[in-house]
Amino acid sequence: MDETEEVSPEELQSGLKKIRRRRWFFWILIMAYLPAMLLALRSAQPNQAVGIVFLVWIILLIISVTLLALVRCPQCGNCFHMNGFLFRPVRRCFHCKLHVTADKQKSKQ
């Protein structure tokens, strides 16, 4: 996709919705770590439960980060959260500066 190419509002909305969904999953997964570990520590076999919870959590985190890092910006077509090899879950595209809520801001106007 070229930066000068105009994107339809429907494409923009669906692309940003996809980014927001992946971001929510990522942040909820990070926030769920501590409660999950506390529950594992209270189980009948805490050593085994902690290992299982950690393994499941780290696999889900790897999947989540990969999906979030590779999601494309609906406006410019580049990876939304990637700048070279750096992954940073910021709210604006590194390349075209599209905000993650740009479709909602346009609908308010």
The per-residue pLDDT string of the chain (109 residues; one tens digit each, 9 = 90 and over) reads 444 568 888 898 999 999 999 999 999 999 999 999 999 999 999 999 999 999 999 999 999 999 999 999 999 989 998 888 888 888 999 889 999 988 887 666 5
| Amino acid residing at 92 | R
Q: What kind and span of H or E run contains 82?
A: strand 82-83
pTM of the model: 0.81
* Inter-residue contact 79 to 71 (CB < 8 Å): yes
Is 98 a domain residue? yes
Is 19 a domain residue? yes
* Inter-residue contact 81 to 90 (CB < 8 Å): yes
Is 3 a domain residue? no
> Which residue range is the domain that position 103 belongs to?
9-108
Count of structural domains within the chain = 1
Is 56 a domain residue? yes
Is 59 a domain residue? yes
Is 85 a domain residue? yes
Is 2 a domain residue? no
Positive or negative, the Cα torsion across 11, 17, 18, 20?
Answer: positive
Q: Name residues whose C-beta falls within 8 Å of residue 36's C-beta, 6 or more positions apart in sequence.
A: 53, 57
Encoding tokens for residue 86? Answer: 């750096």
Is 95 a domain residue? yes
